[in-house]
Amino acid sequence: MTLAAEPMQAPATSTPSCCTRESLIKIPYPDPPTLHLPYLTESEIRSRRSSRQPSRSSSPAPSTILQSDLSNLARNTQIDVRLLAEIMVHLAQIPTDREISAPLVNGLEKVKFEDADEDTLTASVYGSRYAAEDLPKFEMPEREMPKEVAYRMIKDDLTLDGTPTLNLASFVTTYMEDEAEKLMTECFSKNFIDYEEYPVSADIQNRCVSMIAKLFNIPTSDENSNAMGTSTIGSSEAIMLAVLAMKKLWQNKRKAEGKPFDRPNIIMNSAVQVCWEKAARYFDVEERYVYCTAERYVIDPKQAVDLIDENTIGICAILGTTYTGEYEDVKAINDLLIQRNIDVPIHVDAASGGFVAPFINPGLLWDFRLEKVVSINVSGHKYGLVYPGVGWVVWRDPKFLPKELIFNINYLGADQASFTLNFSRGASQIIGQYYQLIRLGKHGYRSIMLNLTRTADYLAANLEQLGFIVMSQKGGRGLPLVACRLDPSKEKAYDEFAIAHQLRERGWVVPAYTMAPHCDQLKLMRVVVREDFTRSRCDALIADFKLACQTLDSMDDKKIEEHKEHFKHMRRHATRTGRHHRMNSHFSDETHSLQGKTGKTHAIC
């Protein structure tokens, strides 16, 4: 492993004087690679460090950079820095004044660039002074800018984002019909929580809840019991609500029995999506993991049930894990609970599988047909075919929803029962979901899911032919995705991350991951087959996979090492802000999560 220096982390002594505010000039050049800084291999670093060459210490910049990076290296040996940075990017860090004023390129401080002319009313976007300045990034500008300019500048800025349709990392919907988009746009200004003002939107939500609950085979024959459900921002919020309900239910039972109720735990696979870790952490529930092995990436039902004790609030089973898309054996867990007469509920995380299995695999028993399943979540914005963010959660019976969690909101005069973490939210996504449900019907969803399953099988067969080991299920026994890895017996000099990078150069986003803990740090790549991934696009991807492997095969070890460095560097500098590389270093050394502790990288979903 070699290191590229992060200029912002070098101490002040190594900062050239041109970084002071007075000498700053603004030149909107793109972020340059830090070519003037050395790349060092790990062994070079070690040998330099151990010999502490005096000649190096007389040249301050490289040695200080070396040290700061070494401490980084030490901190981060378990963590893929880039992935961590990607995860942390939403928790933004406010840059310091010095970071803001640091120039992009050293050595240009003497050059004078004159300000562009004042605007006239007829100035074109690119003839205006706005085109000659950097976009405001750190402080709100004092004055307005024309709307055409603001639109164009931001649109141009966004062109360096990836193309959503080539992003094969994500389950989240990237295509909806024009009519759906139109409908959703027309509802942008509706606040969904405002039931009184928008009663039809509220009713549309209820229609969706009912359709989804029935898709999951909710029993509706009992006159005295009404299943319940709600829309959410996504499966994460849905799962938070489900965990809260299970926790409260358990606490109430313990209180009634006069027993301690302060140490709840929840049982789940170590390959859970990060929102389960969050839910457990945020709501003070101990996480009990059933670990994957190098051969098994789903929960072991017996191990899961064996972990239960009097403090267990529930078991999570995943219908479609994010790594390999496999369905966990909910029925086996259910049957073990019945067999052992254990009163612990199952929640099924069907974020991805909830809109796939009912159409492709209707005979699979995973839903409310199993008596121990008390709640199920699904993401409307994954195979529910709606743009982000909408999710759903359904409970078998109101008795699983402790009353103290439900708020009757009297909003502008109308009473509504509400169980959500958010208050205000847009109504568009819910209306988009209703559109898809009635526009496509069961037949439409089935046609789409069948095509995706065929495409996934076709891709898997081709990748096997290219020498990859396919780790996902075929023939609709799991989600329509292909998870694969290199065959270790072929002893390639490169890894899955290198292939991912080669594909990236062609525009494809195919992520590489390190598996959940206890899997020998197994690496894998994953292609999610979404609605807009047709056979012809699949063929284009296969051709590029082939090309990527050929290119890497033709490189010798030294070249591969350089290649690795190059893409690490490129990833680290993926934001063009230039002055603000660090994303969020305050939290980059967290060690409480599975990622921080074990090097597991959370799959994008």
Among residues 510 and 548, whose Cβ is nearest to ligand PLP? Answer: 510
Cα gap 605→242, rounded to integer Å: 20
Nearer to ligand PLP, 265 or 352 (CB): 352
Cβ atoms 314, 246 nearer than 8 A: yes
CA separation, residue 402 to residues 241, 391, 473 (Å): 11, 21, 38
Query: In whole angstroms, how close is the CB of 174 to ligand PLP at the nearest point?
Result: 14
Q: What does the alpha-carbon distance between residue 388 and residue 413 come to, in Å, rounded to a whole number? A: 30
Nearer to ligand PLP, 4 or 272 (CB): 272
- Residue linked to tokens 């449900």: 437
Shortest reach from residue 352's CB to ligand PLP, in Å: 5
Choice between 6 and 349, CB closer to ligand PLP: 349
Nearer to ligand PLP, 64 or 270 (CB): 270
| CA-based max dimension of the chain | 86
> Minimum CB separation from ligand PLP for residue 383, in Å?
10
**In the complex, least distance from residue 217 CB atom to ligand PLP, rounded to whole angstroms:** 20
Residue 325 to residue 350: CA distance in whole angstroms: 11
Q: Strand locations in 197-340, DSSP E? A: 228-232, 265-269, 286-290, 312-318
> What Å distances lie between residue 72 and 65, 67, 203, 478, CA to CA?
10, 8, 53, 39
Percent composition of the chain: helix, strand, coil (DSSP 3-state, to 5)? 40, 15, 45
Least distance (Å) between residue 124 CB and ligand PLP: 41
- The residue number with the shortest CB distance to ligand PLP is 234
| 268 phi/psi in degrees, rounded to 5 | -155, 165
Pick between residue 45 and residue 317 the one whose CB is nearest to ligand PLP: 317
- Concatenated DSSP letters of 299-365: --HHHHHHT--TTEEEEEEEBS-TTT-BBP-HHHHHHHHHHTT----EEEE-TTGGGTHHHH-TT--
Q: In whole angstroms, how close is the CB of 243 to ligand PLP at the nearest point?
A: 12
232 forms bridges with which residues in the sheet? 391
Cβ(333)–Cβ(348) below 8 Å: no
Rounded to the nearest whole angstrom, what is the least distance from the CB of residue 351 to ligand PLP in the complex? 3
CB-CB contact of 198 with 190 (8 Å) = yes
Binding site for ligand PLP (CB under 6 A): 171, 234-236, 273, 275, 318, 322, 349, 351-352, 379, 391, 605
Beta carbon nearer to ligand PLP, 372 or 526: 526
Distance CA 437, CA 426 (A): 19
Which of residues 273 and 502 has its CB atom nearest to ligand PLP in the complex?
273
CB 500, min distance to ligand PLP, A: 20
**Considering beta carbons, is residue 102 or 330 the nearer one to ligand PLP?**
330
CB of 580 to ligand PLP, least distance (A): 26
